[in-house]
Structures are given as structure tokens and as C-alpha cells.
Structure 1
Amino acid sequence: MSGGLKNTFFGKRLRGVGAQEDQEPRTTTKTRFNPVFPIATAVGNPFLTSEAASASTPSLDAASSSGSSSVAPESPAPDAPSPKKDYGDRFIPSRSEDDLITSYHLKDNGPATPTKKNRIIPSESDAPKEQSNALFATVLHTEMAPELPSRPSSPVRPVTTPTAPTTPTRRKLYSFNSPTKTSPQRALERGRALDDPTSSAYSLSPVRPQSSKILRSPRRDARNVCKTPYRVLDAPELAEDFYLNLVDWSSTNVLGVGLGSCVYLWTAHNAQVSKLCDLSNVSDQISSVSWVQKGSLLAVGTFSGRLYIYDAATLQLSRQYTQAHSQRIGSLAWNSHLLSSGSRDRMIHHRDVREPGLDPVQRSNGHRQEVCGLKWSNGVDNGYASSSGSGPAGLLASGGNDNKVCIWDLRGSKRPPTTAPSTHVSIGTSRARTGAPGGTSASGDEGAGANDSNYLFKFHAHTAAVKALAWDPHVSGVLATGGGTQDKNIRWWNCSNGAMLGELDTGSQVCNLIWSLTSHELVSTHGYSSSHAQNQICIWKYPSLEMVASLTGHMNRVLYLAMSPDGETIVTGAGDETLRFWNAFPKRSESEREGLGGERSRLDYARLIR
């Protein structure tokens, strides 16, 4: 060390470091470290030495680590340039920034962009609002882009005979007067416009005459539907199961609800509640309820396959079938004295409640999975007499978890189809069945081995379970069906020839369908949805398929639906354990009430003769 640096501060510091190295010999290596990962510094040492780097990061140079050296480290110069960064072959890049799903909190399998085929139901919609929006859009278009007046045709230069050239006279070649003001034809047009009393010169309206004409044009008043329920009832233990039917409204204005192992009756005119039965003593639960069209009989199906028939007027048990089905009974449907039950055992049993026997009079099997929907086409299916029904023993529609809809004709008549079979429809046979229950079928259908698999039609268009079924009370033979979560479609069928009349993509799970008695409209309740709108009640205009209103309020899927006997009120039930009552349809006139709710039919023209 030079004599000039001996007594300086840096010389004393170097001598002290050298003495420590002599006492503790060590091996120095050439250090390499990854600057991406932070290295902790020693406490009290603001500088990071090579020893600290070698202690925190293992050596990457095998050759330098083999030999030992006692060379003292150099003092870090404050103005020394930073050493060149050498990442080496141990550099591991961070891939967290490349993960867009994690970085931006994206969801896997998110809903696709809605298209015309994937229709999304708006959460709030009604006919007056849509009519006002359409009128506003028309007026706005008229004001912003008015129709241009028809331009006159281009003038045609008359053909003249050539003349000899003459000396030009002294006249002005350019005229600075406005031709529009001095033109006689333009002045005549302005005079005629002022003679018109509808001229814009006399109008006090801020809009154009075309827009005023649109605003003054007569329009049909849109029906306004109240968006809030007028009554909400608590329904504890109301099961949230898509395959059950736990709510029904009788013709005597009594609502039957299955809650857990009990059935409760709610009388509409006085709001009185009474318990009809309790099956907790046999460890059973209610799976379906259904009222007879006229009367006070209520059929109750259970999870264990039992079937009970109660008289709601006396709260007494009238019939009991302990082995009606081998599994739960999810759907029931009445046709006068004939009671049909659909079960998870894939069978449909038909019983005559007037007979004391326990065996069904007929059996039907056309489904491969649980039967979750049953509906008769007779004219008194909804508690009123209609002239468009198919008689007291009409067609039976059944929907199953196998995504199929079967049409049954139990009257024994054979109806040849009028349309050719397609990929959406299978055509079966309907033979006279006079044999005793237990006879085998010779149809060779996919439900072979069943007692009766001779369906009339089978529809294959749906791609999810079909629980929602509704016969049109205004047009004979028209059936509406709704699919589950993977389908989301409502389809209309002509059950006279098996043709599909139309379909509507609702954008959400269809849980129930019911027709209005006062207008040609259809009510649908929904559950799971591919959009933000779900758990709504929608009213559709048929056959235009326009939405009349969308009612919201339930917090869970709207799995249950029933209509009052007067056709003005609907009640909905959901997994949020509430029953909500909606004024969905207008009141009927006195003539309609006499024709639909009384004993006389609309076809009785003799009562109209004075």
C-alpha cells in the first residue's frame, strides 16, 4: 500500500478488513445473482458486499468454487459504474403477468354474446313502455331524417335549328339576382303553401307535420300490468325441486299447498288457513297436489309412492293407495273421475276414483326417465267450461326428464297422422284397449315391457326436461311445452297432426306454463338464466310472441304456478318460501262469466233468443 494512503481513512479501513481476513480465512467465489428476487441486507450495513451476495445466493461457477483465495474485496467506489447484469441460465421469468384470467378476474365459460337465436328476457318490460319507446323512436327518426321532397325532373333543352352567328349585343353576362325569389313558379308554389291550413307557417307545434300526424294517429291502448304482487304469504318448507308440483288452485277458490309433510288449504275469500293432512307419522313428504275440476277432492302424492284423495270440505280421507307407484309421484292430473299420476318409476297410472279397487284401470309408459308433467286437454281442465275442449276424455300430454313429450289418446280411437314423421316427432299408434290391466303391448316401442306404450305422438325437439305443459283453451288441439335449463324454449304443437307451430327462445329455464282465460296470452315462470334476468314471470301474446309484461320479485326459481278460478289472478311459489299473488289479467264481462263459469256453454245459442 502506498505511503500516501497509509494514514488516510480508507487506508485504516483496508488494514482493519485485512486483519479480520487473516483471523478468519475464507473462500471467495465469483458471484452471480438474479436481481428479480430481492436480497435482504445486513442490519447496519447500507452497502451490499459480495460476501452477502454469496451467502444469500448459491454460486453458479463451479470452477471458481473449487479453489480458495484470500484476496481482500475492493472498497466500493461511490462513483463506480454498476456492474453488468448477468442473469445466467437460472433465470425463471414470472408468468403471473401473462395469466389474463387471474390478472383481470375473468370468469371461465362466461355467457356468450346474445344473438337473435339466444334471446335474453329483459328484467323489466311492459307493453305501455315498449309502445312509448317505439313511438318515440319513430318521431325521432322523422325529425332527424325527414323525407326529402321529390325533386323535379331535369329540364330538357328544346331542339332548335342552327342560326347564323350574329354580332353580340352589349348586355350583362352575369345576373346577381336570386332566381328563387324572382321565379314565378317558386312564388306560385309559396302561395299555394300559404293557402294550405296545415302549412308549417301556421303550425304552433315544435315538431314537423309528419311527426304531428304520427302523434295524432289512433293507437290501441296497451294493457298495463301491475309489477308488484298484491299479497305475499310465507310458505315455510316449500321445497325447491324442479320435478315437484306443490301448488294448485281449486274451482271453489281454495289454494292447496304442500309444505314438507303437510298439506295446507288457504281459502281466498276469507284468508282462512287449515291443515288438511300431516304425514310425519309415516315419515313421508308431499311431492304433488292436484284439485279435481269441479268439487272439493284433492289428490296428494308422496315421495314413497303413496296416493291419497281427500275431501277438502270435510277434511276427510276418501281414497288411499299405499302402493300406487314404486317411487315418488311428481305429477297429477284429473279428467273428471279419472286420476292420472306420473312417477319417477317412468310409469303413468290411470285410476277411476269411483271404483274401490287399488289397481289402475290403464297404464302408460313412453318415457325413459321420471315423468314430471301431466296435463289433460279436456275443456274443464282449469276449472271452467270451455267450448274449445276435446270432451271429458280428451288427450293427455306427459313430459319427462328424458326431454320427451308424449301425447296419449285413452279413448281407444285410431287417428292416422296427416303429416309425415320428422326428426322432432315420432308417430305411434292408439288401439282399442279393452283387456284387463296387466296385458302386454305389441307396439315394440322403446318402452318395451310396459303395460301400454301406444302413444299417439312423441316430440323430440326439447333438449332438457319438460315439466311445463299447457293446453290452449281458445284453440282446440294446441299444446305449449317448455324446456329446462339446457333448452330454455317454449314450443307450440298441433296435436291433431303432430306439427310444430312455433318456438320462442326465452333465455332462461322454463318451469311452468298456463294460458289466460280472458285473452289469448300465455304465462311462463322461469329459473336459471344465461343473463342477468332470472326468476321472472313473463306474459306473452300469442301468436305474435310479443312480451306483454315481465314480473320480478322472487329470489329463487319460480317453480310453482296456479291460476284463480276467475282467471284474473295467478299465484307463484319459489324456493324463497313465499307465495306471491299477481293481478295479471283484466276482469271478464258478465256475459263471459255466464258462458265460462256457469252451467251453460257458449255454444248454447238458444239463451240468446228473446
Structure 2
Amino acid sequence: MSGLKNSPFGKRLRASHRDVDDEPSSPTKKRVYTVSTSTTSSTTTAGPSKVHPVFGIGIPSGSSSTPAFDFSSSSRPSTSSDTRGPESPVEQGHGVVFSMPRVAKEYGDRFVPSKDSGDLRTSFHLLDEGGPSTPSKNRIIPSESDAQKEQANAIFNSILHNEVTPPSPQRAASPTRPVAGSVPPSTPTKRRLFRYNTPSNPATPSRRLDTPTDEAYSMSPVRAESRKLLESPRRQLRSVCKTPYRVLDAPELADDFYLNLVDWSSTNVLGVGLGSCVYLWTAHNAAVSKLCDLTSTNDTISSVSWVQKGSTLAVGTLAGRMHIYDANTLKILRTYQSAHSQRIGALAWNSHVLSSGSRDRMVHHRDVREPSQRPFRKCAGHRQEVCGLKWSGDSASGGAAGNAMLASGGNDNKVCIWDLRGSARPGAGAQSGEDIPSDTPVWKFHEHTAAVKALAWDPHVSGVLATGGGTQDKHIRFWNVINGTMLQELDTGSQVCNLIWSLTSHELVSTHGFSSTTAQNQICIWKYPSLSMVASLTGHTNRVLYLAMSPDGETIVTGAGDETLRFWNAFPRRDGILSGPMSGAGVPGVAAGGGAAGGKLDYGRLIR
């Protein structure tokens, strides 16, 4: 009863007792409360009284209302173990005496749990409001798949299917009764009813117990089909190294989502824009050279792009200038002083046609063979900065001009598809200094809800484009630019900064930045079209804003705001040995994940 004594109800009861004791004695009304260890009684002297029909307590006849509930704690109905129940009130003198038997344990008419003991929802298993939760309709953000576990589960399911539901044996066809009337009636010939002889050509039994491979002699608990499946050679799984085999320091590598400062040439030279300079890193000997320095012009590099075949590098700046360099001789070929009115954040080559996207919302196309500084065509399909440009057919059609389509992504969350094949070069109008703008793209996609910088054309399927949205979108979407439809979409849960397709397998690499999950700044490899994650590579401490691939398609390089360049062996050869122009990043025969201690890869860790 200690709980009842310290409860608010007990406190109010004791307070009421003190109030009653302090009242002045009245000659007409007298209350007497008697408490004993054996019985609990309450005596009220108030002249004639009656029993309340509900509470069962005595009420003075002169009172028009029931007594307060605080005064009748001992008079509540009780469900004790005594079958006699509470006794009826007995009149004694001028009052009513309530006499109750001794109760071992008192139970109230309702149970009020104490909140101090713990959580009510946990203690009494109360369900949440709204009933059982239903699965969300949104796509769950995918996680890295375990190829070995998937293969083991597939084998287990096949064996389970063979053991539980084995294929039914071939049954002989049921004999058919000849159709009535097909055989003409004839007189039966006289012959013996029983004939005892051995058949001349007995049928060969279908099961031969003299073969050692018969199931009767098998010691295996599974069937022959299951044993054959277990003993058959399995496909060798591709393993992706989770650590970069080389890390280069890249000071002043800008942490700007709208810039493109890293590109890898077909001649195996990496171009990187650092501040006001452009540096070249040769992969086969790890040599570093400075291509240009724009410090004297008070300008900063904003984009770099190699031509598909050759050693020509285009450089865009924050001031809107565009320079073209020869990487072999480290000399400038030509300069466009007023290529754009604002910074040039994206560059893309299509053979001799150089396309540039700027913060002035325009896309300009120039033929580098012509002496004119003015573009032969302008595309004005975006309402904000153009931050992504990619020509299709870079490898499929050899980058021939007029045989490809251009995809542009902007800060207005739009993706535009342009086709230059339907327009002729300007004639007299261009010679007189007039520009021919075009505001009508072939397709314009509006599904993204954030800036679109990541663009990648599928080299294996013609007309398939992959696009990635920024922080507010986090989706990778796949488009069919032939009919203008969206094929698939994938919620990555992170800001998509770059996309690139593998040249040796139908897989896609994406780099990420800000994330709604715990994993941030990761590099993901996706399998297409299942869109399952093959691997997730981590190591950068800032957004992975820059991505490029080696010419042989085996190595990718990523750059981030942490001012580092990391080289990943994302698509190694089947035999695990690198060969070709990126043989161990310069050493033939070096195993995947090159850069072993003491190898020729240790030329230093600084790119500058």
C-alpha cells in the first residue's frame, strides 16, 4: 500500500482528513472516522440516513448531494477474495457505522499504471497510430551488392528446386481403345486360351544396376542433376579494388560544381586545371609539365577538354576566353578573346568542331580550322548557366562532325538535345558578321529537379543518354533520344557530379557529393540495365566533382575539393594483369592495383 500512500489520491485523502478534523464541532452534525488494523470503519452522525444506490454509503437525510469522492476512499466497491463482499451499513445510535472485513489485497474498479515504471508503449505493447506500417512507395536507395552471395543464393535456389520438385519421368502413353465400327466384325478363330512360352525378343530394362553411376550406389544426399550443378565450373567474379593505387596532390583544385577541370586524352596524358595554370601528367612515365600560366592576365582556368584523337587541348577561363594548345610542343595555337561574355564551364569536341557552354546561358559552336573568331552557330535553349556538354558518337562514329548529337545540361534543371545535321552553314549572312541563333532543340527534358552537370552517352547502345541531377534531385535518368522517352531512373541518395560509361562492359560510373545518407563523396559502379550497384569506392573527403577515364577504359581518375587526384583500377582485365598503354600506369606486367612498393610507379606524389 506504499504506492497508494504516496500517490496523489492518498495525499488528497490525508488532506481531506485534516480538513475534517479542523472543523468546529456542530451539535446537529458529527462525523466520526475510526480506523483499525482489523477493520476499516467510518461513522457519520447526521440523524436519519439512507444508502446511496450506486456508491453504497450512508447519506444523511438532510443532505441533497452525495458526499465528495475524496471522503469515501474506504467505501469504494471492492472485489476481494471474500465472497461475502462488503457488509451492509449498521445503524448505531445517531449515525451509521460501515464495517468491512479484512482484505488481503485491494483491487480497484480500474487499473491506472504508474508512468514512473517505464514506457507505457513498451510495457503494454501498444500499437502505433495508423496500424501496421506499410512499405514506402519510393524506391529504396540501393546498396552495394555482394556478387559472391548472389551467386551462392542462385546455386542454392537451383538445387532446392531440383530436390523439392524434380522433373517427372517420362511416362508411357496410355493405351487407346479402338473406335467402335472401325474394325469389321469377324468370326473368332479357335485357339488356346492360355499359352506358355518365352518371348523371343524381351524388352531391355530401362534401368541398369550394373552401371557405377546409378543412384542406387550414390553416397550423395542430392540427385545427380544437383551434383552436376555443384561440380560444374563457376563464372569467375569480377573483384573491384576498393583503394586507389595512386594518389596525387593537386593544390588549388577548385571545389566548384559547375567547372570541368580534369580530362584524359587518347594519347594517355592527363590534363588538370589548377588555379591559373594547366598541368599535364603523362601516365606511362609519370612526368609532369606545365602547359600554361594565366597569372599575368589575372584569369583562372574553368574547363579543359582534349580532342578525341590527337594532342590538342582546349582551355576555358573565368573571363570567357578560350585557348587552344598543342600538348606535344606546349605552345598555344590560337585564342578566342571574347568566346563568351562570362565564364566557360563546359567544353566538348566533335572532330574539328569545338562547342563551349557558358554562364551566359549560350552554347557556341566553332570550327577551329576557320580563321573567324565568331561561332558558326549558337544554341540558346537554357535559361541559366550551361554546366555540362557531351557529344555522342565520340567512339562509335569516330567523332566525325555532322554525325553526332550534342547533349547540354544547365543550372535550370533542363537537358537539351541538339542536332547540327539539320542546319546548313551560314552563307553570306555569316560573312557579313551576322550570327544565326537556334532556340529549338530536338528534345528538351524537364524531369530533373536540380542542376544537370553529369552527362554520358552509352557507347554500347546508340541513342541512350545518362544524366545526373544535383543535390535536390539525386537521380540518374536514362533517355532514348531517338523517340524522346525516359527509359529508367535511379535514386542514388546523393548529389550526382559526374557520369561515365565503361568501354569494356555495360556498366556506368557515377561520382557523388552531398548525400542524405551516411555515405558521402563516394564513387559508384552500376550495372546496366539492372541498375544494381557493383561497387562503392570511398576515400575522398570532399565532393567528387571531376572524373575521367584512361584511353584503354581500365582506369578512372577522380578529383575532389580535398585537392587530390585518385586513380582507381575500376575495370581490370579478366586475367588480372594490366596491359596496353596503361600497363600498371606505366609498367607492363604490374598486377591490378599497381603502385607496388619499389616499382617504377613511385615517381613522386606531387602533380606540380
Shorter chain as normaliser: what TM range?
Answer: 0.5 to 0.7
Q: Which residue of 1 aligns with 2:344?
A: 329
Residue pair 1:128, 1:224 contacting (<8 A) in 2 also:
no
Tell me by how many angstroms 1:147 deviates: 6.0
1:127 Cα shift?
3.1
TM-aligned CA deviation for residue 561 of structure 1: 0.6
Match of 1:19 in 2: none
Secondary structure of the equivalent of 2:151? helix
| Contact persistence 1:121–1:533 (CA under 8 A) | no
Which secondary structure state, in structure 1, belongs to the residue aligned with residue 296 of structure 2? Answer: helix
SS of match in other structure, 1:301: strand
Q: 1:411 maps to which residue?
A: 421
Which one of the candidate residues 239, 242, 245 is aligned to 2:254? Answer: 239
* 1:574 matched to 2:551: no
- Taking a change above 3 Å as real, the CA distance of residues 198 and 503 of structure 1, as seen in their structure-2 partners, is farther
Distance 1:115 1:246, change over 3 A: farther
Deviation by residue 1:575-606 (Cα, 9 ceiling, x = unmatched): 111111111123499xx999xxxxxxxxxxxx
Question: 1:356: Cα distance to partner?
Answer: 2.6
Contact 2:319 2:342 in 1 (8 A): yes
Q: Report the alpha carbon displacement of residue 565 of structure 1 after superposing the two structures with TM.
A: 0.9
Larger displacement relative to structure 2 (198-207 or 303-312): 198-207
Point out the more displaced range, 207-216 or 300-309: 207-216
SS of the counterpart of 1:411?
helix
1:249 Cα deviation (Å)?
0.4
CA distance in 1, matches of 2:157, 2:539: 30
- 2:411 counterpart residue number: 401
Provide the rounded CA distance (Å) in 2 between the counterparts of 1:127 and 1:392.
42
CA contact (8 A) 1:521 1:539 kept: yes
Residue among 208, 211, 220 paired with 2:235: 220
Give 2:445's aligned amino acid.
F
CA distance in 1, matches of 2:353, 2:134: 48
Give how far 1:393 is off: 4.0
Mapped pair 1:349 → 2:364: yes
How far, CA to CA, are the matches of 2:450 and 2:351 in structure 1?
Answer: 31
Q: Contact 1:114 / 1:120 at 8 angstroms: preserved in 2?
A: no
Pair 132,229 (structure 1): closer, same or farther in 2 beyond 3 Å: farther
Counterpart check, 1:118 vs 2:139: yes
Measured at CA, do residues 526 and 131 of structure 1 come closer, stay the same or move farther in structure 2, by a change above 3 Å?
farther
- The AA in structure 2 aligned to 1:477 is G
In the alignment, does 2:147 pair up with 1:127?
yes
SS at match of 1:252: coil
Work out the CA distance in 2 between the residues paired with 1:200 and 1:586.
Answer: 44
Matches for 1:253-268 after TM superposition, within 5 Å: 253-268=268-283
Report if aligned partners of 2:308, 2:394 keep a CA contact under 8 Å in 1. Answer: no
Q: Normalising by structure 1, what TM-score?
A: 0.60
RMSD: 3.7
Give the drift of 1:220: 3.1
| Cα distance per residue 1:173-208 (max 9 Å; x no partner) | xxxxxxxxxxxxxxxxxxx99999889986655778
Could you give the per-residue CA deviations for residues 359-394 of structure 1, whole angstroms, max 9, x where no partner exists? 2221111000000000111334xxxxx359776542
Alpha carbons 2:514, 2:543 under 8 Å: kept: yes
**Pairing 1:171-186 to 2, within 5 Å after superposition:** none
Name the residue aligned to 2:86: none
Equivalence for 1:608: none
In structure 2, relative to structure 1, the CA distance for the partners of 1:472 and 1:201 (3 Å cut) is: same
Is the contact made by 1:388 and 1:476 (CA closer than 8 Å) also made in structure 2? no
Q: Are 1:503 and 2:489 counterparts?
A: yes
State the Cα deviation string for residues 322-357 of structure 1 (Å, max 9, x = none): 221111110000111111110011011111212232
Q: CA deviation at 1:547?
A: 2.4
The residue number in structure 1 matching 2:467 is 481
Q: Give SS of 2:421's match.
A: coil
- The question of whether the paired residues in 1 share the 8 Å contact of 2:402 and 2:421 is answered with no
1:270 partner letter: N
Aligned runs of 1:19-30 on 2, under 5 Å? Answer: none
For structure 1, the 5+ residue unaligned runs are 1-111, 151-191, 381-385, 414-430, 442-450, 595-610
In 1: Cα distance, 2:379 partner to 2:167 partner: 70
- Is the contact made by 2:466 and 2:476 (CA closer than 8 Å) also made in structure 1? yes
Aligned-partner SS, 1:284: coil
1:18-167 aligned within 5 A? 115=136, 117-122=138-143, 124-132=144-152, 135=155
Q: In terms of Rg, which structure is larger?
A: 2
Determine if the alignment matches structure 1 residue 376 to structure 2 residue 388: no
Residue identity matched to 1:478? V
Counterpart secondary structure, 2:422? coil
Q: Tell me, in whole angstroms, the C-alpha distance in 2 between the residues paired with 1:302 and 1:275.
A: 17
Separation (CA, whole Å) in 2 of partners of 1:346 and 1:581: 33
